[in-house]
Structure 1
């Protein structure tokens, strides 16, 4: 971790769940973090509770990852205010309570705008900064096991497709960077079920099948994914963890 201490990491979707846990873990390891979130006040509240190593702190920026101008401006501000970005964690992601057979087009669009296009725009902006400042940085996509196999549960509609896209995007980005001779690393972290607010905030509380599964399913917790993110950035410069799949013990493979 020594080479990252005092450096700048950006974490999207930083207000709760996995994003908040990664912010906390990185700051405790001595990395200065800028948390992007629509609920900026949640990130500010989290910042007050973290004891950062060597003075590292969590900064909050109000950013809607689906609005390109927001994302571009946030990266520009971060680089000018805090310094070059060394790590990007693309954590922002949503799932919508709809279907494919009679689904809501706006719900589908929100998923792709957040999980795919928002991720691509954030990645582009971070890499442009890294390359301008000759930073051998690290891009982490928080993916899902749903990006490798389609879960046999209802109402996931375009979510799994969006995560399959993330799997492809990580591999494609790695190939593009390799062709440039860049030493920026790319890692896709694909968790199984993690206990977060995702069921509550995306309107699934009325879906009996989903709520029943949520209550009984084996689970991990945000801190487990934060520890995984810390592990992949700890690897030496010549080692790239391209894909890391984590599942709670007992979850179907």
Structure 2
């Protein structure tokens, strides 16, 4: 029993237009899932369709920092595909921002997308599954190694805080589902540096931050496909097995 049990089922992937999200969309298509790729740039999601893949792709425009947009996306899935069986919360941002001089709108964007938007998507997916009696659904958060360590440089504390919050929310979700007697499983994947990820805006960064990220040019990186395969691994486990967290770092990562 592997991921084949989800063939034909509906997976919603947020932040699907590029990077890790795009890789997850394509690997799920290869395994025969019906994949809804949600992103602000729906036209980029459409380009991810694979001619010979058994799965079917649907691209929908949506902004995870906007609750109305999230609700509209879930309504579309319910009206057109019956509902969501797997949710992959991939959308996120990580801009540089100081805790003593940062702008409120920057902090708000981090928290709205990385924490609140993730939570709204999770709530809508779980409620939909419970209404339909889906007991083998899955919620997967794409977190970060930043969710497991203290900030390693000034200017990234708000981002690190948002990822620590994701870890806490995951455990809270697991216990909430257990209390409801649900067998819906949850898990998170926490990558180290991934090649496709954009770096914070260096124009506003202090010299020490620019120096830190300059060193990444000589740092080993994961590929987006590595994270997509971790999603497949998580989904492939026997229903009695809940892989709660997968920490993935590139071999030789020096920090």
Q: Give the TM-score band, short-chain normalised.
A: over 0.9
The TM-score normalised by the length of structure 2 is 0.93
Measured in 2, the distance between the counterparts of 1:64 and 1:121 equals 12
Instruction: Give the number of equivalent residue pairs.
Output: 248
Superposed structure 1 runs of 4+ greater than 3 Å apart: 204-207
> Kindly tell me: are residues 50 and 243 of structure 1, through their superposed partners in 2, closer, same or farther at Cα, counting changes over 3 Å?
farther
Secondary structure in 2 aligned to 1:188?
A: strand
Structure 2 contact 97–158 (Cα < 8 Å) conserved: no
Structure 1 unaligned runs (5+)?
A: none
Are 1:16 and 2:18 counterparts?
Answer: yes
- Residue in structure 1 matched with residue 147 of structure 2 by the alignment: 147
In structure 2, list runs of 5 or more residues that go unmatched: none
- Once the two structures are superposed, residues 87-143 of structure 1 have per-residue CA deviations (whole angstroms, 9 ceiling, x without a partner) of 000000001122112111111110000000000000000011111111120000000
SS in 1 for 2:186: strand
Cα deviation, residue 210, structure 1: 4.5
Residue number in structure 2 paired with 1:117: 116
Give the drift of 1:215: 0.9
Structure 1 position 155, deviation (Å): 2.5
Per the alignment, residue 32 of structure 1 pairs with 34
| 1:206 Cα offset (Å) | 6.7
Selected match of 1:250 from 237, 249, 252: 252
Deviation at 1:195, TM superposition (A): 1.1
Secondary structure in structure 2 of the residue aligned to 1:111 = helix
- Map 1:133-172 to 2 at 5 A: 133-135=132-134, 136-172=136-172
- Partner Cα distance (1:233, 1:20) in 2: 17
Residue 95 of structure 2 aligns to a residue whose secondary structure is coil
Paired position in structure 2 for 1:52: 53
Contact 1:39 1:62 in 2 (8 A): yes
Q: Give me the whole-angstrom Cα distance separating, in 2, the residues matched to 1:225 and 1:214.
A: 19
Q: CA RMSD in A?
A: 1.4
